[in-house]
Every structure is written in structure tokens, then in C-alpha cells.
């Protein structure tokens, strides 16, 4: 008996040394994602038959039903992007064909100047399509989209205006999420040689770095600017718990955004900003042991608050990229491994369930009482991106 206990103890002792990196089975995770996405394609067909026309991409489950959105919705580009990631992983024509089909639905957004979400919509879909196919048509769509996004830049504020809605609340609102749209602008300069896109992106990133962050490197969600003087009128939140709290996905956008800005500019200020934000997130006392954050780091009911798997997916993907640039690389990639391991083992939908979404337990807007503890297409998109980044880092 004693020998048996000793034997088990030795096994348990050594299994502790198997890192999360070794435990993540990327092949299995992609097999699950492919099965779920095949189901999603069938579910989309069903909804399209019965719903009004013009709905193109899945966003979430609403009362258990699949919710599709029109191309103008900020989330429309994520599902096409997932299809590109599946194609990138397995190179199967089936996924290429689906990716092309769903990406075609988004293209008309290239002239929609009523929102800042151009990067989310067009870069995640068409941008990935161009990266993987070099189709000249996609190139043209990206350039037109960057031109349209640039019309929302105001040289007096130095930033791209985010929203046009809720004019009674804000004059010229900018949300931290907007950092994500800069990737499209940086790419447009690479494609055209026209540096105006690059300069707008840098101005937006610098102004946001100055005005959006607190001393501890947590980020406000919304900053409102005077469009004439560029003065900050107020700082607050829309989807977080309170104006002074740290909304989890906002911190994720900041981390990913400044890491991406460093990729294009090699400006050490952006690297340092990304590292500070990452350390704020990873060392936060309210970060749960599995590293999948509550929807807000300051939510008052923690630990009985909803998690946000989408924030974890964005953070994990951002950390993998940051790990390649930073002196803290090992620390960051280790934490990303742990997040990805948690998402893969505890947050994925059982095969054949959730209408084909991959991850469960995300939160869209708790204060808006909307999309709480549900699957979200952007959680799935950044989860697949994180898996691919992990795979590439292993190479
Ligand atoms: N960009 C909107 C959100 O993160 O919910």
C-alpha cells in the first residue's frame, strides 16, 4: 500500500512540472472548432430562411436562439475571420470557400463612415482574406475602408471619433476599443505608401495614451473630447461597472492595441504601455485563478459576477504577440498558455451544442443587461487567433 502511495505521489509530483503550454492540444482544439463551425453554418442557413434579409453573420445566442446581424453591426467581421483562421490552420478548400462567401457580405461596409468599427468589421474579414490570398480585390476594399475610417479623424482632437449615437451624453466620444481599428490604417500605409493613414493611427494612439489611462495603467472606457479645442470634457464608462472601474474587455483592447502599434512602429513607448497594461491585468487581485476575468475587475459582487471569456481570448492573443517583443516574454506567454488552457478545458461548448459557437461564458454589456454569460463571435475569433499564435510561437 505504502509503495502504491509513494508511486502515485511521484507521478503527481512530476505532473506538476508539465506546463500549461504542453497541456494545450491545439490539434484537438481546432478539431472541436471545425465541428462547431460546421454546425454553425447549418444553423445560419436555418435562420436565414426564416429571418428578414440582410442578416449576414452570427453574433450571439439570445434566449437560446442564434442571433444574426447585418454587415453594419460591429461584430459582422468576426465569423468570416474565424473561417479564414480555420482555412489558415488546415488549408482545406471547404473553409476557403466559406471564408470568401462570408467575407463578400462585409465588403459594402468600406464606404460606411458612420462608425469607427471599420477595423473590426473589415480588417478581421477582408484583412485576413488579403493576408492569406493576396487577392487584389481585397486590397482595394482595405484601402477604401481606411479612407472612409480616416474621415472620422479630427486634427484638433488628434483622435478618430468612435460613436455618433447618444449625442445627449457625449460630444466627441472615443472608446478604448478604437485602438483595434488602427491596424487597418497601418496596413493601408503599407499597401499604398501613403503615410497619412499611419500618421492618423499614431496620433490616435498617442492621444489615447495621454488621456485614457489612470496612474495604475488601467483604462477608462470612454473619453469625451471638445472637437474645437481637443480638451478632455469627461471620462467614464459605457459597458463597465462604473466610470472609475476597469472594464475587463477594455483592458484587453488596450493591451492588444498597443502591442499591435509596437509591431508597426517599433516605438518603445507603445511596448512599455502594453507591458504596463499586461501587468495591471495579470497582477490584479481580482483576477481569478483560471485567468478568465470577471466582466469588470472592480465589479462589486465578485466572485458572483459573470466572467468574460471574450476578454480572456483577446488578452491571450495579445500576450502571445507581446511575449515576442518583451523582456517579460516568458511571463507573458506562460500566462497566455494558462488562459488558453482554461478556455479550452472549461469554457468550450460541448460538441454539437450552443448552435455551433466555440466558447461559452462571455459578457457583452452587464450594465446594459445585454449578452450576459453567453457565447459571442468575437470570443471565438480571438480564441482561434490565440491558438494560431501559440502554434506559430512553438515553431
Ligand atoms: N467594441 C465593443 C465591445 O467591446 O463590446
Which string of DSSP letters, residue by residue, matches 210-252? HHSB-TTS-B-SEEEE-TTT--EEEEE-SSSSSTTS-BHHHHH
Residue 186 counted as domain residue = no
Tell which of 129, 151, 173 closes a domain. 151
297 and 388 co-located in one domain = yes
Domain count within the chain = 2
Residue 213 counted as domain residue = no
Res 19: pLDDT: 76
Q: Which of 239, 248, 308, 309 to mutate for ligand 1's pocket (most ligand atoms within 8 Å of CB)?
A: 239
Indicate the pLDDT class of residue 1, thresholds 50, 70 and 90: very low
292 and 393 co-located in one domain = yes
116 and 146 co-located in one domain = yes
Res 52: pLDDT: 72
282 and 370 co-located in one domain = yes
Distance in Å, CA 394 to ligand 1 centroid:
30
Distance in Å, CA 309 to ligand 1 centroid:
13
Ligand 1 residue neighbourhood (C-beta within 6 Å): 74, 177, 239, 249, 364
Residue 119 counted as domain residue = yes
**Who contacts 395 (Cβ-Cβ below 8 Å, separation ≥6)?**
none
323 and 393 co-located in one domain = yes
- By DSSP bridging, strand 153-154 and strand 159-160 are antiparallel
Res 20: pLDDT: 75
Ligand 1 atom nearest 310 alpha carbon: 4
Ligand 1, atom 2, residue with closest C-alpha: 177
pLDDT at 325 over 70: yes
Residue 357 counted as domain residue = yes
The range of the structural domain enclosing residue 322 comes to: 22-48+275-395
Residue 224 counted as domain residue = no
- Active site (catalytic) residues: 117, 177
pLDDT at 9 over 70: no
Ligand 1, atom 5, residue with closest C-alpha: 364
pLDDT tens string 169-191: 999 999 999 999 999 999 999 99
Tell which of 135, 151, 167 closes a domain. 151
pLDDT at 362 over 50: yes
pTM of the model: 0.95
Residue 384 counted as domain residue = yes
pLDDT at 18 over 70: no
pLDDT at 14 over 50: no
Residue 257 counted as domain residue = no
pLDDT tens string 66-82: 999 999 999 999 999 99
Cβ atoms of residues 123 and 142 within 8 Å: yes
Q: What's the whole-number mean pLDDT along residues 261-265? A: 98
Res 50: pLDDT: 82
Q: What's the whole-number mean pLDDT along residues 46-59? A: 88
338 and 293 co-located in one domain = yes
pLDDT tens string 281-298: 999 999 999 999 999 999
Distance in Å, CA 91 to ligand 1 centroid:
30
Question: What does the alpha-carbon distance between residue 346 and residue 370 come to, in Å, rounded to a whole number?
Answer: 23
What's the Rg (C-alpha) of the chain? Answer: 21
Residue 192 counted as domain residue = no
- By DSSP bridging, strand 370-374 and strand 362-365 are antiparallel
Q: Which of 69, 74, 251, 313 to mutate for ligand 1's pocket (most ligand atoms within 8 Å of CB)?
A: 74
Distances (CA, A) of 265 to 197, 258, 259, 260: 13, 10, 10, 9
Distance in Å, CA 238 to ligand 1 centroid:
10
Q: What's the whole-number mean pLDDT along residues 316-342? A: 98
Tell which of 106, 133, 151 closes a domain. 151
36 and 134 co-located in one domain = no
Amino acid at each position: 500500500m505504502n509503495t502504491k502511495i509513494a508511486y502515485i505521489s511521484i507521478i503527481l509530483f512530476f505532473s506538476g512540472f508539465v506546463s500549461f503550454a504542453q497541456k494545450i492540444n491545439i490539434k484537438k482544439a481546432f478539431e472541436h472548432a471545425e465541428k462547431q463551425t460546421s454546425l454553425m453554418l447549418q444553423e445560419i442557413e436555418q435562420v436565414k430562411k426564416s429571418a428578414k434579409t440582410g442578416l449576414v453573420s452570427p453574433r450571439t445566442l439570445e434566449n437560446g436562439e442564434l442571433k444574426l446581424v447585418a454587415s453594419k453591426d460591429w461584430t459582422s467581421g468576426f465569423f468570416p475571420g474565424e473561417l479564414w483562421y480555420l482555412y489558415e490552420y488546415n488549408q482545406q478548400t471547404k473553409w476557403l470557400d466559406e471564408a470568401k462567401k462570408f467575407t463578400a457580405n462585409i465588403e459594402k461596409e468600406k464606404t460606411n463612415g458612420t462608425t469607427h468599427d471599420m477595423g473590426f468589421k473589415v480588417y478581421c474579414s477582408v484583412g485576413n482574406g488579403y493576408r492569406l490570398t493576396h487577392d487584389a480585390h481585397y486590397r482595394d476594399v482595405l484601402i477604401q475602408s481606411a479612407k472612409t475610417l480616416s474621415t472620422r479623424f479630427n486634427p484638433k482632437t488628434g483622435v478618430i471619433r468612435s460613436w455618433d449615437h447618444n449625442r445627449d451624453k457625449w460630444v466627441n466620444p472615443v472608446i478604448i476599443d478604437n485602438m483595434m481599428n488602427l491596424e487597418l490604417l497601418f496596413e493601408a500605409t503599407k499597401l499604398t505608401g501613403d503615410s497619412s493613414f499611419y500618421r492618423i493611427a499614431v496620433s490616435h494612439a498617442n492621444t489615447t495614451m495621454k488621456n485614457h489611462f489612470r496612474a495604475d495603467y488601467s483604462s477608462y472606457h470612454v473619453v469625451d473630447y471638445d472637437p474645437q479645442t481637443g480638451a478632455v470634457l469627461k471620462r467614464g464608462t459605457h459597458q463597465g461597472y462604473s466610470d472609475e472601474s476597469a472594464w475587463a474587455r477594455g483592458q484587453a483592447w488596450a493591451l492588444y492595441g498597443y502591442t499591435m502599434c509596437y509591431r508597426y512602429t517599433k516605438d518603445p513607448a507603445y511596448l512599455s504601455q502594453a507591458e504596463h497594461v499586461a501587468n495591471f491585468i495579470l497582477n490584479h487581485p481580482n483576477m481569478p485563478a483560471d485567468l478568465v476575468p470577471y466582466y469588470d475587475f472592480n465589479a462589486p459582487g465578485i466572485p458572483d459576477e459573470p466572467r468574460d471569456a471574450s476578454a480572456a481570448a483577446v488578452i491571450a492573443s495579445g500576450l502571445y504577440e507581446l511575449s515576442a517583443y518583451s523582456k517579460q516574454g516568458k511571463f507573458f506567454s506562460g500566462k497566455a498558455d494558462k488562459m488558453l488552457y482554461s478556455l479550452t478545458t472549461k469554457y468550450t461548448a460541448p460538441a454539437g451544442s450552443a448552435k455551433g459557437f466555440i466558447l461559452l461564458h462571455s459578457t457583452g454589456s452587464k450594465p446594459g443587461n445585454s449578452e450576459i454569460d453567453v457565447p459571442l463571435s468575437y470570443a471565438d475569433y480571438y480564441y482561434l487567433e490565440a491558438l494560431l499564435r501559440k502554434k506559430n510561437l512553438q515553431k
